[in-house]
Amino acid sequence: MSKVVLQAKNREKAGSAESRRIRKAGRIPAVIYGRSGKAVSIDLDSSEFIKSTKGISESTIVKVDVSHSAGAQDKSYDAFVKATQRNIIDGKILHIDFYEVESGVALRAKVSLILQGNPIGVREGGMLEAPAHEIEIECLPKDLPERIEIDISGLKANQSLHVRDIPLAEGVRLLSNPDQVVALVKFAKAEAAAAVAATDAAATAPAAAAAPDKKAPAADKKASSSDKK
């Protein structure tokens, strides 16, 4: 998808009173944090932000065009939407934190994993489990994928896919544990049959132990006759 571009205004005043005024005007107070620790206070149109960022992932880089008051130069930032603070009652966005990324400087990010296809093992009666939903990678901003799509249609029963099996583009380095399981198919029918067999075996064992030995009384009778002699 094309890069999302957000229009913002530089915010010179700070404080809760100013933030309330901004929200009342239909805008959202925000901060762009730089790698050096420098922060730029801005505000954005609420409706535009919600519409423009719908469907983006945590690893999507957006462009924020910041306009300044007269006498100051406008500036653009490439950044992540790092965090959004919402009202717990109505869900409206109260504040946004952006994190600036610099061209040519490697960054670390968590990228969502999207599983595609219906595994062979599931069609045969197995059950799909997906323990991992994202992986951490390191790369230049230009090489950062928004999401990683994985075809699992060939996954058979009792087979698993690990992080090390995920194909990554050139220039992208894996940071997550390569042995972490991404998807696996458990053969539920076989497991259920084994559980039933184990239960039946456990129930039969005590019954067999409690059954009386019919030969024992005859032996006792014989022993008593020989005592009388």
- What is the sign of the dihedral through the CA atoms of 192, 194, 198 and 200? positive
**What is this structure's pTM?**
0.68
The pair of three-digit structure tokens given for residue 166, joined into one six-digit string: 């995920």
| Residues in the chain, total | 229
**What does residue 46 show for φ and ψ, rounded to 5 degrees?**
-60, -50
- What is the sign of the dihedral through the CA atoms of 101, 104, 107 and 109? positive
Distances in Å between the alpha carbon of 119 and those of 123, 126, 132, 183? Answer: 7, 9, 17, 10
Q: Which residues of the chain have pLDDT under 50?
A: 190, 192, 195-196, 216, 218-229
Instruction: Give residue for tokens 């197995």.
Output: 126
Condensed to tens digits (0 to 9), the pLDDT of residues 163-180 reads 999 999 999 999 999 999
Report pLDDT for 226. 44
Do 84 and 54 meet the contact criterion of CB atoms below 8 Å apart? no
| Pairing state between β 181-186 and 39-45 | unpaired
Report pLDDT for 209. 53
Instruction: State whether residue 187 is helix, strand or coil.
Output: coil
Give the other-Cβ count within 10 Å of 46's Cβ.
16
Do 164 and 182 meet the contact criterion of CB atoms below 8 Å apart? no
